[in-house]
Amino acid sequence: MGTTRRRFIAITAAAGGLPLLPCARSAPATPLLRIWTGSALGADATLQIHHPDPATADRLIAASLAEVERLERILSLYRADSALCRLNRDGVLLDPPFDLVRVLSESRRYGAISGGAFDVTVQPLWDLYAKYFSRPEAAPGGPPSGAIAATIARVDQGALEIDPARLRLARPGMGVTLNGIGQGYVTDRVVEVLRGAGVEHALVDMGETRALGAHPDGGSWSVGLEDPRAPGKIVERIPLVDRAVATSGGYGAVFDAGGNFNHIFEPWSGRTSWRWLSVSIEADTATEADALSTAFTVMPPEATAPVVRALGLVAHFVRPDGSRLVQRA
């Protein structure tokens, strides 16, 4: 996926809080629990699989990573041969892969749920800000309003035509990014690989985190939310059983040396947002948690509360001053 959002989620291997091994591959943590750590989609990644046969667990890890590689060939914004890059380059993609059609359809649904706050066609805004601040003479105030207005005209999820036989960008200069949903989608697909193989207890983190079943000790998996202003400091622990959690925030990537312009855009204004320092969402799937944590970063609490209630979410907000807000269904 290229540049990914910086995530402040710390995973612990057991309800009691056993830290993950930082650099181990398939290292045993507890009896029958195999742990792999590495990278996927440009982010730190972790798999924890409970299985009575270590060799089988290792094969399941290999199958999971093969699925990640397959999906990256479809969804990556930074691989010239990916299906997504071909869509952005040509403006049309015939016979698109099922996974791309599916994730774009889900993106449109979350766009509707969020009142337009989630929009995968904001890629032209990312390009605008990145190009602008790459110039030595860039003014600290950011791109001129005229350039932003011209770019917003190419941001419209409704102009992305989605059909199983064809994907089409209806306006010249449009572009799609899946950085706000792709990692969650890949996490969910890995969970399905493991579930299909009969795994009952696993924790998958391919950029976002989802638990398959409970921890094998009978308790929940423990996921710690870190303070975005003090990495390494856990401010809250979330118990997960058959649920997912994802975090988004503008701290993940900034365009300027002063750190005033980040990669979280308001689709309607073209401006970057610092409404919330970070947003973490607990949901049934990592796809949903990923998309809505992205959307909620540009939404006021009175707009997020009905979505939280309707979808059975838990939303954790951190304000720029460090104060916190939690909304529950």
pLDDT digit string, tens, across residues 240-273: 999 999 999 877 688 988 888 988 999 999 999 8
Say if residue 247 carries a ligand binding annotation. no
Domains, the chain: 87-169 (1.10.3980.10)
| 162-187: pLDDT as tens digits | 999 999 999 999 999 999 999 999 99
Question: Do the annotations mark residue 182 as ligand-binding?
Answer: no
CA–CA separation, 37 and 264 (whole Å): 28
Global pTM reads 0.90
Which pLDDT belongs to residue 251? 72
- Does 272 appear as a known binding residue? no
pLDDT of residue 15: 33
**DSSP secondary structure of 129-191:** HHHHHTSTT--TT-S-HHHHHHHHTT--GGGEEEETTEEEE-STT-----TTTHHHHHHHHHH
Query: What are the 10-residue block averages of pLDDT along the chain, 329 residues in total?
Result: 42 34 39 86 88 93 96 93 98 99 98 98 97 93 96 97 98 96 97 98 96 95 88 89 93 83 93 92 98 97 98 96 94
Q: What is the pLDDT of residue 78?
A: 85
Given this model, what pLDDT does residue 31 score?
Answer: 61
Q: What is the pLDDT of residue 226?
A: 85
pLDDT value for 30:
56
Please report, for residues 55, 150, 255, the alpha-carbon distance to residue 127 in angstroms, rounded to integers and kept in the order given: 45, 13, 11
Q: Give residue 258's pLDDT.
A: 84
Per-residue pLDDT, 39 = 82
